[in-house]
């Protein structure tokens, strides 16, 4: 629209134009390098086009050149907030293919670690979600409590974020002697802090106004889009693999699958808040009963999977994480596919955000809890 | 009257007469202008720096962290260091921006807050201009600031800025109504718009106590509406960093950004001082009925301390809002104003008029 | 003749008003024109302040600077893009408007020159709340209720007119529905 | 339903299917019949495969194929559908994104990385790589001398 335009022509052009905004790749509320292309009418979102791939690293291609134990370290870099679950998925997949059974102790520790990761992930999500809605204080509360878990991780695994603690056949090393004590301390402390979270955010009137009835996702759509994890369970989609396809020690513990049927942002929020309680329940049931034994099986130096296809589903903090390994009998896989929960969750955002405002889009994408490296792979 | 020991009008009169004795009237007035200007500039800078520091410490206190604590004792020089950094930062010029408007916008915002500062009584006799329509003047002048924001948003030629500016425009135009009406409630009670007289009338009791329920309602509405008018959280939609990155000042850098930043804090100060003056008696000490001893003791605290203390409490309240609540959405913001605050306000005006007519106030 | 401070201020304000009035009508960018108009209005308010006519000055600031200019800018933000410019004014138009304004200037100044200004000796009326309130609500001499009502009807008519002009024509709406 | 029952039920629906008993019941289907079978699997009351939890595009060397993992949220039986495109250069498979919406993004990913075209896909663009990227990285014969270091 350079140059001179008569006024009436200007008006008609403005009427016809779509008002398009690029939200991202550098934007505070996409939590990484994701780009939403929005078409707006006033403040109302007409459609959303997610553009991803800004940190596509070709992890699936890389796995074809490396051995199975090495894949573990790449899966950390997918969803870095549920690194432990991703590791577990690959380990379980390889173990199933080799048809070996890991010791009970390993199963228990894996489950505890996975639940701790889930707690840490949900804490970070809570922190960031509050910030998306403009309540900046939540960020520091969430991160403060997450620090305890990271300390526990650091003590046992030597790493705070990308733990690489699981490996085919067991664990990389045994738990730290203080592990049980520290975990119990953390849970005692966090049970006290969680009501504080609720006071700060959950009960707030503005928060209710901002989240209730926003970003509706029906159960049918959730299933069809494959929206899993807390986001799917907020729509009443019973997709908790810990319950339906138990792995590790989940068949030995008693816990509820959190389901909310409203399908709005608030329901997804509630699912995660309740899941934190459930995770603590699970850890409490296991932490005192970790059986004695080896922390890993003796594995061959070079792992070769028999020819065939293997699939493993695991419930990560954001939903169903899947590993599909196609082996041709060599020491490196023929093809590995990671089913990342964020990728499917993201695909629903257009149908969820249409007709809502920009501010709602931020709330919706926050409630989906997207981790960009996971969906970009 | 004991608190007249702190009456500064004799001091200012003495300056005036001694200046006039020494030079022609023109130069005397000119010197006074310059003096007042310099004092206000210095005050502006000091208050701005202090408020930024206070905001950081309060925010840190709310968020379980320390806040600035390295530069100087307790980090008090942190804001000065920031200022130096902002001064040295590159001023980025945007291609295809409307350069004139882009450069004018920060000045309009900051001049509006300067103008409002002129009418505020800091103590007895310590007021740059004592208009007989003081409140009206403050409301009028503060309504100019929004133009700076609108210009900034439009002239940056950025879509985020434009949305921020539009939001801010809608917001400020709406909330000006509530600010004005809640002040009118007190004007009805006081019968004057002159700020010095309003303060003087609260000698025996602040309006928030003597004005019964309507004054309390007016105060609450004023706090909500003025927080919205100065674009602070939870009403900071114009710059909503999680949605619009920084809203209307997305494209500003260096000292021009600092102007917006400073103006925001000064507006907060002005709003807080108006609230303190109109509802909490300005520089008037706290007097309770017939407690003579207590009242005497209170009188010995200088008025400037009273004034600053009240202002600080209200600023602290506004800061607490920001660091506690999530942000509203634009439609909710307008709903709050037009469907709740405005009707309540109109009713409140009637109620106050009724009370004043019946003479039920103290 | 010694120049007083008040005179200097007046000349500054007058110069601001003159310069920015001319800029307002000559600027080819619509938002700049609106901003220049803002400066004109503020300078006018400054002259009112000089005359110790604070109430009118404040009204000028709220209504014109803070109200009408904001609305003008607001509507510009909604409708126009930053790269838009008006067409340069044609020579004929320039000449015609120059002649018209010259004629207006002659008319006004001739009236002013003929009128004998008498300096009033009365003290400036201190406009306090009571006077403002009473004259606003009085319908007698010096009361403002009647003119106020007349103006409000005028404004209503203007608003209805604006809506009628701005409304989309009916057939267009129907067409749009068909498309959807 | 266990794998045997599933096998009977599905072979009653569609003929010429190859069944394999692996981790999940694996059904290989011709590309022409695939869309029809998928639709029937989704809509059959006793099967109701309503949730597709994974799609994997595979380069089999001579041909390109896609594995669809579908399950039923109601009966929680799982099958894997395998489709191999007819030719490698012009690999085409009918889209299923109107049956399972999640397929829209997943198919874009496969198109991006393996170059399988999905017929009737509403928005078949590259999703991770740039629009002007040459080649399909997940193919076994993909060569990129700049970015892939062979050891």
Q: How far apart are CA B313 and CA B332, in angstroms?
A: 28
Domain that holds residue A302: 57-341
Scan for tokens 């008037």, then name that residue. Answer: B284
| CB atoms C82 and B30 under 8 Å | no
**Residues 6+ positions from D24 with CB-CB distance below 8 Å:** A311, D69, D78, D79, D80
Interval B83-108 mean pLDDT: 83
- Taking Cα atoms as reference points, which of D97, D13, D18, D24 lies closest to residue D48? D13
| CB atoms B326 and A206 under 8 Å | yes
- Asked if B330 and A359 touch (Cβ cutoff 8 Å), the reply is yes
**Whole-number average pLDDT of chain D:** 82
User: What is the β-pairing status of strands A308-316 and A319-327?
Assistant: antiparallel
pLDDT in tens, B21-56: 777 777 777 787 888 888 888 888 888 888 888 888
| CB atoms D53 and A225 under 8 Å | no
Q: How far apart are CA A72 and CA A88, in angstroms?
A: 9
**CB atoms inside a 10 Å sphere around CB C138:** 13
Does residue C105 fall inside a structural domain? no
pLDDT in tens, D93-141: 888 888 888 888 888 888 888 888 888 888 888 888 888 888 888 888 8
| CB atoms A309 and D80 under 8 Å | yes
Q: Is A130 helix (H, G, I), strand (E, B) or coil?
A: helix
Q: How far apart are CA A86 and CA A91, in angstroms?
A: 9
Q: What is the CATH number of the domain that holds A99?
A: 1.10.645.10
**Residue A154 Cα to chain centre, angstroms:** 20
Q: Is A21 helix (H, G, I), strand (E, B) or coil?
A: strand
How many structural domains does chain A have? 1
- What is the model's pLDDT at position C174? 46
- Asked if A105 and A170 touch (Cβ cutoff 8 Å), the reply is no
Does residue A51 fall inside a structural domain? no
C51 and C133 fall within a common domain: no
Q: How far apart are CA C78 and CA C72, in angstroms?
A: 10
| CB atoms D53 and A348 under 8 Å | no
Q: Give the helix/strand (H/E) hosting A51.
A: strand A44-51
Does residue C133 fall inside a structural domain? yes
Domain that holds residue D10: 3-94
**Residue D102 Cα to chain centre, angstroms:** 12
- What is the model's pLDDT at position A251? 85
- C86/chain A closest Cα distance in angstroms: 6
Interval B245-251 mean pLDDT: 79
Q: Give the helix/strand (H/E) hosting A171.
A: strand A170-171
- What is the model's pLDDT at position D85? 82
pLDDT in tens, A333-343: 888 888 888 88
A327 strand-pairing partners: A308
Here the tokens at position B215 are: 């004054």
The yes-or-no reply on D/C contact (3 CB pairs or more, < 8 Å) is no
Helices (H), chain D: 3-13, 31-43, 103-114
Q: What is the DSSP letter of D137?
A: T
- Asked if B208 and B280 touch (Cβ cutoff 8 Å), the reply is yes
**Whole-number average pLDDT of chain A:** 84
pLDDT in tens, B293-320: 777 777 777 777 888 888 899 999 888 8
SS3 content of chain D, % helix, strand, coil (to 5): 25, 25, 50
Does residue C45 fall inside a structural domain? yes
- Asked if D49 and D79 touch (Cβ cutoff 8 Å), the reply is yes
CA angle B13, B15, B20 (to 5 degrees): 95
- Asked if B316 and B276 touch (Cβ cutoff 8 Å), the reply is no
Interval A84-110 mean pLDDT: 87
Q: How far apart are CA B231 and CA B165, in angstroms?
A: 11
- Neighbours of C, requiring at least 3 CB pairs below 8 Å, are A, B
Q: What is the CATH number of the domain that holds C22?
A: 1.20.120.1200
**Residues 6+ positions from D146 with CB-CB distance below 8 Å:** none
**Residues 6+ positions from D71 with CB-CB distance below 8 Å:** D49, D51, D52, D53, D77, D78, D79
**Residue B88 Cα to chain centre, angstroms:** 28
Q: What is the CATH number of the domain that holds D42?
A: 3.30.460.80
- Asked if B232 and A134 touch (Cβ cutoff 8 Å), the reply is no
- Chain A environment of B58 (Cβ under 8 Å): none
C133 and C82 fall within a common domain: no
- What is the model's pLDDT at position D92? 84
For residue B286, with 0-12 CB atoms within 10 Å meaning exposed, 13-18 middle and 19 or more buried, which class applies?
A: middle
- Asked if A63 and A93 touch (Cβ cutoff 8 Å), the reply is no
C64 and C137 fall within a common domain: no
A144 touches chain B (CB under 8 A): yes
Does residue D113 fall inside a structural domain? no
Does residue A371 fall inside a structural domain? no
- Taking Cα atoms as reference points, which of A29, A21, A80, A83 lies closest to residue A49? A21
Here the tokens at position B224 are: 């909500």
Q: Give the helix/strand (H/E) hosting B125.
A: none
Angle between helix C30-50 and helix C69-79 axes, rounded to 10 deg: 170
Here the tokens at position B302 are: 């200088």
pLDDT in tens, D130-139: 888 888 888 8
- What is the model's pLDDT at position B2? 45
- Taking Cα atoms as reference points, which of B170, B169, B157, B330 lies closest to residue B240? B330
- Chain B environment of C31 (Cβ under 8 Å): 98, 101, 151, 154-155
- Asked if D26 and D82 touch (Cβ cutoff 8 Å), the reply is yes
- Asked if B284 and B210 touch (Cβ cutoff 8 Å), the reply is no
| CB atoms B244 and A358 under 8 Å | yes
- Chain B environment of C54 (Cβ under 8 Å): 131-133, 137
- Which ipTM did the prediction report? 0.78
- What is the model's pLDDT at position C173? 46
User: What is the β-pairing status of strands D78-84 and D25-29?
Assistant: parallel
Does residue A300 fall inside a structural domain? yes
| Whole-number percent of chain B with pLDDT over 70 | 96
Does residue D19 fall inside a structural domain? yes
**CB atoms inside a 10 Å sphere around CB B179:** 25
- What is the model's pLDDT at position C15? 92
C134 and C72 fall within a common domain: no
- Asked if A265 and A364 touch (Cβ cutoff 8 Å), the reply is yes
Instruction: For residue C102, name the pLDDT band (cuts at 50, 70, 90).
Output: very high
Domain that holds residue C161: 126-180
C62 and C136 fall within a common domain: no
Q: Which of B59, B61, B243, B320 is the best mutation test for A, with the most CBs of A within 10 A?
A: B243
Q: How far apart are CA A338 and CA A326, in angstroms?
A: 12
Instruction: For residue C176, name the pLDDT band (cuts at 50, 70, 90).
Output: very low
- Asked if A302 and A308 touch (Cβ cutoff 8 Å), the reply is no
- Taking Cα atoms as reference points, which of B168, B325, B322, B171 lies closest to residue A133? B325
Chain B residue nearest residue A31, CA to CA = B242
Q: Sign of dihedral through CA atoms C50, C52, C56, C57?
A: positive
A201 touches chain B (CB under 8 A): yes
C1 and C84 fall within a common domain: yes
Does residue D31 fall inside a structural domain? yes
C131 and C79 fall within a common domain: no
């Amino acid at each position: 629209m350079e140059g001179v335009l008569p006024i009436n022509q200007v008006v008609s052009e403005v009427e016809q134009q779509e008002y398009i905004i690029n939200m991202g790749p550098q934007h505070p509320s996409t939590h990484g390098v994701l780009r939403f292309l929005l078409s707006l009418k006033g403040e109302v979102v007409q459609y959303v086009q997610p553009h991803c791939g800004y940190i596509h690293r070709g992890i699936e291609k890389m796995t074809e050149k490396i051995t199975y134990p090495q894949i573990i370290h790449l899966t950390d870099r997918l969803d870095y907030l549920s690194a432990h679950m991703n590791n577990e998925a690959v380990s379980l997949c390889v173990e199933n293919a080799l048809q070996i059974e890991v010791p009970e102790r390993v199963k228990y520790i894996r489950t505890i670690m996975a639940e701790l990761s889930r707690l840490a992930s949900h804490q970070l999500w809570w922190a960031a979600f509050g910030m998306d809605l403009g309540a900046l204080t939540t960020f520091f509360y969430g991160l403060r409590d997450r620090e305890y878990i990271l300390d526990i991780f650091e003590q046992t695994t030597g790493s705070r974020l990308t733990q690489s603690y699981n490996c085919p056949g067991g664990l990389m090393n045994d738990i730290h002697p203080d592990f049980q004590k520290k975990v119990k301390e953390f849970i005692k402390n966090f049970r006290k802090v969680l009501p504080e979270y609720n006071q700060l955010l959950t009960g707030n009137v503005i928060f209710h106004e901002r989240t209730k009835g926003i970003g509706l996702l029906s159960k049918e759509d959730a299933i069809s889009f494959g929206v899993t994890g807390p986001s799917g369970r907020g729509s009443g989609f019973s997709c908790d693999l810990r319950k339906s396809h138990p792995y590790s020690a989940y068949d030995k513990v008693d816990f509820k699958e959190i389901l909310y049927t409203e399908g709005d942002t608030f329901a997804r929020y509630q699912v995660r808040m309740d899941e934190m309680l459930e995770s603590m329940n699970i850890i409490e049931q296991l932490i005192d009963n970790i059986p004695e034994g080896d922390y890993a099986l003796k594995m061959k130096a070079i792992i070769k999977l028999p020819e065939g296809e293997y699939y493993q589903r695991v419930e990560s903090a954001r939903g169903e994480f899947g590993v599909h390994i196609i082996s041709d009998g060599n020491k490196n896989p023929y093809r590995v596919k990671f089913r990342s929960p964020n990728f499917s969750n993201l695909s629903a955002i257009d149908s969820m955000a249409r007709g809502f405002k920009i501010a709602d889009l931020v709330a919706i994408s926050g409630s989906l809890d997207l981790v960009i490296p996971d969906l970009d792979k | 009257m004991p608190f007249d020991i702190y009456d500064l009008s004799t001091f200012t009169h003495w300056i005036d007469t001694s200046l006039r004795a020494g030079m022609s009237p023109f130069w005397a007035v000119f010197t006074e202008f310059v003096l007042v200007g310099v004092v206000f500039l210095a005050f502006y800078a000091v208050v701005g720096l202090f408020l930024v520091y206070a905001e950081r410490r309060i925010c840190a206190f709310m968020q379980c962290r320390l806040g600035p604590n390295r530069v100087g004792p307790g980090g008090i020089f942190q804001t000065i260091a920031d200022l130096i950094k902002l001064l040295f930062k590159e001023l980025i010029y945007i291609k295809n921006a409307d350069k004139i408007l882009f450069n004018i916008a920060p000045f309009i915002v900051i001049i509006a807050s300067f103008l409002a500062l002129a009418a505020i009584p800091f103590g007895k006799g310590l007021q740059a201009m004592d208009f007989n329509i003081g409140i009206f003047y403050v409301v009028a002048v503060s309504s100019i600031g929004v133009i700076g924001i609108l210009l900034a948003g439009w002239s940056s030629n950025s879509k985020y800025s434009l949305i921020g500016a539009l939001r801010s425009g809608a917001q400020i135009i709406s909330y000006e109504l509530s600010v004005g009406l809640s002040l009118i409630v007190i004007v009805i009670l006081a019968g004057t718009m002159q700020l010095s007289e309003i303060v003087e009338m609260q000698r025996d009791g602040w309006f928030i106590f003597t004005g019964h329920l309507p004054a309390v309602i007016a105060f609450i509405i004023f706090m909500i509406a003025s927080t919205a008018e100065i674009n602070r959280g939870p009403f900071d939609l114009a710059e909503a960093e999680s949605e619009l990155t920084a809203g209307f000042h997305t494209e500003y850098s260096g000292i021009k950004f600092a102007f917006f930043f400073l103006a925001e804090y000064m507006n907060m100060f002005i709003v807080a001082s108006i609230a303190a003056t109109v509802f909490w008696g300005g520089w008037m000490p706290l007097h309770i009925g017939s407690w003579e001893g207590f009242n005497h003791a209170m009188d010995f605290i200088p008025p400037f301390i009273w004034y600053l203390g009240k202002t600080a409490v209200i600023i602290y309240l506004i800061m607490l809002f920001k660091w506690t609540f999530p942000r509203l959405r634009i439609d909710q913001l307008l709903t709050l104003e037009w469907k709740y605050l405005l009707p309540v306000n109109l009713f409140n005006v009637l109620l106050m008029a009724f009370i004043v007519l019946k003479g039920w106030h103290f | 003749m010694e120049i007083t401070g008040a005179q200097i201020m007046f000349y500054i304000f007058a110069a601001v008003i003159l310069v920015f009035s001319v800029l307002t009508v000559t600027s080819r960018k619509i938002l700049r024109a609106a901003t220049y108009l803002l400066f004109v209005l503020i300078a006018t308010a400054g002259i009112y302040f000089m005359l110790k006519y604070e109430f009118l000055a404040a009204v000028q600031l709220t209504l014109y600077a803070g109200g009408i200019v904001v609305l003008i800018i607001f509507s510009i933000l909604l409708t126009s893009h930053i790269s838009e410019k008006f067409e340069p004014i044609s020579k004929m138009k320039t000449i015609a408007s120059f002649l018209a304004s010259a004629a207006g200037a002659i008319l006004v100044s001739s009236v002013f020159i003929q009128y004998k200004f008498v300096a009033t000796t009365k003290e400036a009326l201190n406009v306090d709340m009571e006077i403002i309130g009473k004259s606003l609500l009085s319908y007698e001499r010096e009361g403002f209720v009647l003119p106020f009502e007349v103006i409000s009807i005028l404004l209503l008519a203007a608003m209805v007119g604006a809506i009628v002009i701005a409304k989309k024509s009916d057939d267009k709406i129907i067409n749009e529905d068909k498309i959807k | 339903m266990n794998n045997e029952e599933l096998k009977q039920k599905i072979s009653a629906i569609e003929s010429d299917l190859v069944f394999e008993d692996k981790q999940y019941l694996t059904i290989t289907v011709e590309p022409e019949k695939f869309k029809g079978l998928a639709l029937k699997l989704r809509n059959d009351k006793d099967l109701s495969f309503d949730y597709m939890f994974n799609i994997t595009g595979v380069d089999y060397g001579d041909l390109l194929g896609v594995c669809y993992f579908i399950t039923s949220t109601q009966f929680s039986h799982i099958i894997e559908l395998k489709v191999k495109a007819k030719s490698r250069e012009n690999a085409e498979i009918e889209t299923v994104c109107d049956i399972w919406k999640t397929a829209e993004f997943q198919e874009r990913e496969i198109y991006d990385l393996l170059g399988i075209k999905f017929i009737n896909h509403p928005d078949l663009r590259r999703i991770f790589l740039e629009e002007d990227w040459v080649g399909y990285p997940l193919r076994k014969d993909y060569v990129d001398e700049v970015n892939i270091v062979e050891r």
